Amino acid sequence: MNNRKNFTLIELLVVIGVIAILAGMLLPALNKARDKGRAISCLNNLKQCGMAFIQYANAWDSYFPPVHGGNYGTPDRGELSEFLVEWHVYLQPYGLKTSHLRCAADPAVRPGFDDNWATRQSYMYNGMFAFNKRMNVLRNTSRCILLSERGDDAITHQGYEGFAPVETWENNVAKTRHNGRANYLFVDGHAKELKFEETVGNRTVDENQHFVKEYRPDYFTG
Ligand SMILES: [Zn+2]
């Protein structure tokens, strides 16, 4: 006689049900851990960018790199003045790698771009710094945002208009890329995950950390 007890169909279904419940409990935690990992790697990218910006300014008489090639009163960079050269190319001799320009939570391909991913990097340059601006006149470098994460409304340009009213450019920024927040790089080289609202406060010049008071024409006289 065969004493071996076979599983009944009911027992099998119970086991499958328990596995499904356990998997359902585990997956959100795994997804959360993955998202957190992506946010931390993005933050590290921005810190690497920050170090390259600071070294660039040290080498170029405190100037920030231009947003792209062209004559904007910045020191002559020879062949790098060519129009199609973008801001991050100027930083490559100062330690920036193309891998530092890609956030893992950023969609890899956006409509309107060719296969050259370097033209659609995940971070955008604050236009306040892009044209003939110098680091050494800033009085509080830890409050000035230098790079923001690129949103879907900003598929063609390398910079955003931090000098304009907030509502004209805020949708250029990926405001909620990392669990309702996004990462920002400040001029002093620190990077932080913030809610967009925290970066602009009540949207006045005094509270908007994308606007640089020292570059306002009347700041030193008025
Ligand atoms: Zn990111």
Q: Say which amino acid occupies 149.
A: E
4 by Cβ neighbours in 10 Å (0-12 / 13-18 / 19+) ranks as exposed
Rounded CA gap, 104 and 108, in Å? 8
CB 50 within 8 A of CB 70: no
Count of other CB atoms within 10 angstroms of residue 39: 20
Nearest to 203 by CA among 169, 152, 180: 169
Token pair 């606007």 is at which residue?
Answer: 211
Distance 149 CA to ligand 1 centre (A): 6
Distance 78 CA to ligand 1 centre (A): 33
Name the pTM for this structure: 0.84
Distance 82 CA to ligand 1 centre (A): 29
Strand partners, 182: 194
Distance 40 CA to ligand 1 centre (A): 8
Distance 106 CA to ligand 1 centre (A): 7
Q: Which residues contact 136 (CB under 8 A, 6 or more apart)?
A: 57, 62
Q: pLDDT tens across 155-182, in order?
A: 567 889 999 999 999 999 999 999 999 9
Nearest to 159 by CA among 198, 180, 135, 129: 129
- How much is the pLDDT for 118? 46
Distance 123 CA to ligand 1 centre (A): 8
Distance 45 CA to ligand 1 centre (A): 9
- How much is the pLDDT for 221? 47
pLDDT cut 70: percent of the chain above it: 84
Distance 75 CA to ligand 1 centre (A): 31
Distance 38 CA to ligand 1 centre (A): 7
Residue 110 has pLDDT above 80, yes or no: no
DSSP-derived secondary structure for 12-47: HHHHHHHHHHHHHHHHHHHHHHHHHHHHHHHHHHHH
Distance 36 CA to ligand 1 centre (A): 10
Rounded CA gap, 210 and 92, in Å? 24
Q: pLDDT tens across 50-79, in order?
A: 999 999 999 999 999 988 877 666 677 766
Distance 177 CA to ligand 1 centre (A): 6
Residue 153 CA, chain-centre distance (Å), reads 14
CB 190 within 8 A of CB 161: no
CB 52 within 8 A of CB 101: no
Q: pLDDT tens across 192-214, in order?
A: 999 999 999 999 988 999 999 99
Indicate the pLDDT class of residue 44, thresholds 50, 70 and 90: very high
Distance 150 CA to ligand 1 centre (A): 9
What average pLDDT score do residues 27-35 get? 92
